[in-house]
Amino acid sequence: MKVKVTGLLLIAAIIVILLPASAGAQSPGTETSIIVTDVVSGAPLVGKNFTTNLEISIVTGTAGTGVMGAEIWVSFDPAVVSVYDVDGDPNNGTQVEITNDFFDGTLVIVANEVFYDTPTIPHPPECDTQACVHVAVSHIGGSGAITNKTGSVAIIPWSALTTGSPGIGIPVVGDGVPPGSVLSDPDGQTIPINDVSVPNITVTHPGTIEGSVTRQGTPTDNGGVKITARGVDGGGYVTATTTSEGFFSLEVPLGGSYVVQAGYPGYLNAYKSSVSVDGAVTAVGATKLLGGEVNNDNCINILDIVSIIGDFSLSGLDPANPHDINDDGTINILDLTIAAGNFSRCGPTAWTP
């Protein structure tokens, strides 16, 4: 199966740029890389989606040239991940998301396709045994040939199918081998690719962090508290909000270690460190947020007290207004006494009931 796009603009001219007939010598001092970044959104969990960026980097010496076009192949194991169509229409030629970042003019997209079977066009040998993303792009206008820049040419949206390594690779052009990734200068000459970089991603089953949060002064509705879990070793960043009862549940990669933090306008954040997810559910228990931090400086002090007094008796307020600490719609003595009772406290506070 192949999902594919055909170039619509200046195809003949761009093919000359992107598929040069002969290889040129590398300019002095020019260093190039093609990079698939680590996960930039989502998490590599079975049944979930995540994204990585596809980037080009070039450092050009004083006599060097720049990149005018790029054709890039990215191989992957289709048993572990698939590429999901970014706009939900497999027939319109928009598979991955081509970005206007590395190239800054009007983009000319010649190829944006995903092959799950052996491609019918010239291709790297890796695409005979693995699936492949194939993009080819240049631009008109903008900065012309790109020098001394690292930027994204595409965002690849992945769907995680099962546990394991996606086996992401970047085949490149070399002497005596079939076509692969190639960078081109304005004269249609190849610019050698000095380095490729692929992430060490492992798709895992999700684990769950559960707990509850109450807010001081709001005994009946504890919804809307933002909960974040950040991997201690770079294992991702996941967010959720509490229910009206204060309950939350976060799906994170099983086997990681996380810092969990809870926050709400008008309150000091609470946190719990070294939360190890080594089972189906990890319970962190309950915590209470302390109110009175209305000016976002992470401490409850005279500035907060003065601020509350300055808005005293205002009513009809949005719950997001931090001065109305208990969200009853009015700034009154209840809000002031909450802040006064926590005077000199700073956050984040420990995760305790």
pLDDT in tens, 170-224: 999 865 556 899 999 999 999 999 999 999 999 988 899 999 999 999 878 999 9
Residue written as token pair 């492949």: 132
pLDDT at 64: 76
Q: Is 0.85 topped by the overall pTM?
A: no
Cis amide linkage into residue 348, ω under 30° from 0? yes
114/162 Cα distance (integer angstroms)? 19
Helix (H) or strand (E) holding 155: strand 149-160
266/224 Cα distance (integer angstroms)? 13
pLDDT at 11: 35
The parts of the chain modelled with pLDDT lower than 50 are 3-27
Strand order in the sheet with 182-184: 2-3, 106-115, 131-140, 69-76, 182-184, 190-191
CA angle 273, 276, 282 (to 5 degrees): 105
Cβ–Cβ < 8 Å for 182, 153: no
pLDDT at 285: 96
42/52 Cα distance (integer angstroms)? 9
**Beta-bridge partner residues of 270:** 262, 349
Cβ–Cβ < 8 Å for 236, 45: no
DSSP letter, residue 122: S
10 Å Cβ neighbour count for 12? Answer: 7
- Find, among 157, 172, 169, the residue nearest to 199 by Cα: 169
- Find, among 147, 137, 133, the residue nearest to 106 by Cα: 137
- Find, among 279, 237, 294, the residue nearest to 261 by Cα: 237
Q: Give the type of residue at 216.
A: Q
pLDDT at 8: 34
All structural domains of the chain: 2-197 (2.60.40.680), 206-350 (2.60.40.4130)
pLDDT in tens, 33-74: 999 999 998 889 899 899 999 999 999 876 678 999 999 999
Q: What is the dihedral of CA 12, 17, 19, 24, to 10 degrees?
A: 150
Cβ–Cβ < 8 Å for 17, 105: no
343/337 Cα distance (integer angstroms)? 10
The DSSP-derived string for 251-274 is EEETT-EEEEEEE-TEE--EEEEE
Helix (H) or strand (E) holding 39: strand 31-42
- Find, among 211, 219, 212, 222, the residue nearest to 319 by Cα: 222
Tell the burial category of 92 from Cβ atoms under 10 Å away from its Cβ (0-12, 13-18, 19+).
exposed
- Find, among 339, 343, 238, 243, the residue nearest to 291 by Cα: 339
> How close are the terminal C-alpha atoms of the chain, in Å?
55
